[in-house]
Amino acid sequence: MKNLETHLALSLPSPMQTISPKWKGLREISLSVKRDDLIHPIISGNKFRKLRSTLTEMPDDVSTIVSFGGGFSNHIHALAYCCMKLNKKLVAYIRGNYPTPTPMLEDISQWGAQIVFVTKAQYQRRHEPKYIYELNQKYPNAIVVPEGGSMQAALSGVADMVNETSTMPPDFFISPVASGATLAGIASALHKDQKAIGVGVLKGEGYLEDLVRAFLPIQADKNWHIDHRFHFGGYAKNNDELINFCLEFNEQTGIAIEPVYSGKLFFALRHMIENGEFATGSHIVAVHTGGLQGNRK
Ligand SMILES: *Cc1c(COP(=O)(O)O)cnc(C)c1O
């Protein structure tokens, strides 16, 4: 698919916005937000980045895409919309069962996706080569895309985002981390002297680093790290402090965030800035990876 961006009506490059929320210490540094949440009104930011090369390079005889996610998955949502626009069938393996469909599931049914509910035990097999092989047998002419769209081919699309900042290259990129390909893609595209910080949105010290490392060349300089202080007890866990922070951030900057990914990112960033964890004069780019659809009830 050539001209994917035109076909999907994407606004690229995404805007870069300087923000000044009422945080102590903000005057010592410069903070911008890479608004990947504005790439498209429906397609969640980093999920498009991660799918870009797979969708662009998809052979014409591929009729079907098979992928995996939870009932609120930003990845499945973005992919289902892209599939509808590109005239491909999506088979979505969804963990759990939703007798009352979530807004995400309602959207994707409307866009023609086939939903297959699987038990937690079945869902656990999603990375097994034998299981992928069985899916390929079951759906001929299909591509099986891993959960979150996190695959080697995802890195180049995320690198595009970094390259869009080349006129004003920051010292630090900071982004949420869940399945790791976004942080790996950022790290893969940095110049020397630039660093990437991941904010773990789930309890995964060691585990998240392994995920990121698996996407990167073994000999690569380690120009990234993951901060594990801000997962709030686990994936999609939150508390009143985080919820209030999201509302306040929205009031102060006009930028909407949600408590699963971007809320934890900006909460972490405020802490780091107020705690003096960045050298004076640092230029930081926070990547707003989108994901607001997942916050609907
Ligand atoms: C999936 C997602 C992430 C996490 O990206 P990974 O590549 O899985 O680490 C961050 N933000 C949003 C909004 C997401 O949907």
Q: Is 74 in the pocket of ligand 1 (CB under 6 A)?
A: yes
Please check the confidence at residue 216 and state whether its pLDDT lies above 80. Answer: yes
In tens, the pLDDT along 35-76 reads 999 999 999 889 999 999 999 999 999 999 999 999 999 999
**For atom 1 of ligand 1, which residue has the closest CA?**
148
pLDDT at 219: 87
Could you tell me the distance, in angstroms and rounded to a whole number, from the CA of residue 1 to the centre of ligand 1?
A: 24
Taking the whole predicted model, whether its pTM rises above 0.75 is answered as: yes
Least Cα distance to 264 among 187, 157, 176 occurs for 176
Q: Is 73 in the pocket of ligand 1 (CB under 6 A)?
A: no
pLDDT at 3: 80
In tens, the pLDDT along 101-137 reads 999 999 999 999 999 999 999 999 999 999 999 999 9
Beta bridge pairs of residue 288: 35
pLDDT at 2: 61
Could you tell me the distance, in angstroms and rounded to a whole number, from the CA of residue 104 to the centre of ligand 1?
A: 16
Which residues, in sequence order, are CB contacts of 166 under 8 Å at separation 6+? none
In tens, the pLDDT along 221-264 reads 899 999 999 999 999 999 999 999 999 999 999 999 999 999 99
| Closest ligand 1 atom number to CA of residue 178 | 9
CA–CA separation, 201 and 235 (whole Å): 6
Give the SS3 label for residue 95: strand
